[in-house]
Amino acid sequence: MTTDTTSPRRGRPGYDRAEVLRAAVAQFNAQGYEATSVSELTSSLGLTKSALYHHFRSKEEILEVALETALSGLEGVLSDAEEAGGTASDRLTAVILGAVEVLVAELPSVTLLLRLRGNSQVELAALERRRSFDHRVTALVRAAQEDGALRDDVDAAVATRLIFGMINSLTEWYRPEGRVDAGLVAQDVLMVALEGLRRR
C-alpha cells in the first residue's frame, strides 16, 4: 500500500497532498466512497482534475492512503505492546489505550476503514489486515485468560469484539473539538472494557 501521506508537494491552486487527502476522506465519509465521484471531489475542493491527479493517481489511491494511515496506526499499537513485553494483561491494556489514541488522532481514516464493504481489491486487502489485527488481539485476550488475569467464561473472540465494538463506536459520537478529553476517553474505555472481564 502507498504510505506517503505527508508529501510537501504543492499543486494548483495551493492545496498540498495532506489537505487534498483530508478533504477527500471527509467527502467519502459524508456520502460513501462508492457514491463519491472524482468530479464531486474536484468540485468540493475547487480543483481541476489535473490538479487532483498532481497529488493522487486515482480516487482509489486516495482510499488506499487513508486506509494505510488507519491500519498502520493500529498495527503499530499492537507491535509496540508486544515489544514492550510484560504480562498479557499489560499488553492488552496498552493495545486498548493505543487503539483509542489512534482512533482519536486519525478519526476520519478509521471511520472510513470501519465502513468498508469489500468492493475492491484495495478494500479486501484492508479488511484482511483488519481481521489479522483482530485475531492477534484475540490471542492476547486468550493469553490473559490463561494467566488468570481475565475471566475465562467469556469466549476470547467474543470479548475482543465487545471491546472493539465499544472502541469503534467512538467514530459515531466522539468529536475532537468537543468537550470530552481524549485522554479521559481512553481511560474510560479501558475501565469499562476490562472491568467486567477481570477475574474476581
pLDDT at 200: 58
What global pTM score does this model have? 0.85
Instruction: Render pLDDT for 147-194 as a digit per residue (tens, 0 to 9).
Output: 999 999 999 999 999 999 999 999 999 888 888 887 888 899 899 888
DSSP string, the chain: ---------B-TTS-BHHHHHHHHHHHHHHH-TTT--HHHHHHHHT--HHHHHHH-SSHHHHHHHHHHHHHHHHHHHHHHHHHH---HHHHHHHHHHHHHHHHHHTHHHHHHHHT----SHHHHHHHHHHHHHHHHHHHHHHHHHHTTSB-SSS-HHHHHHHHHHHHHTHHHH--TTSSS-HHHHHHHHHHHHHHTTB--
**Which residue ranges form the domains of the chain, and what is each CATH number?**
17-59 (1.10.10.60), 61-195 (1.10.357.10)
Q: What is the tens place of the pLDDT at every residue in 72-123?
A: 999 999 999 999 999 999 999 999 999 999 999 999 999 999 999 999 999 9
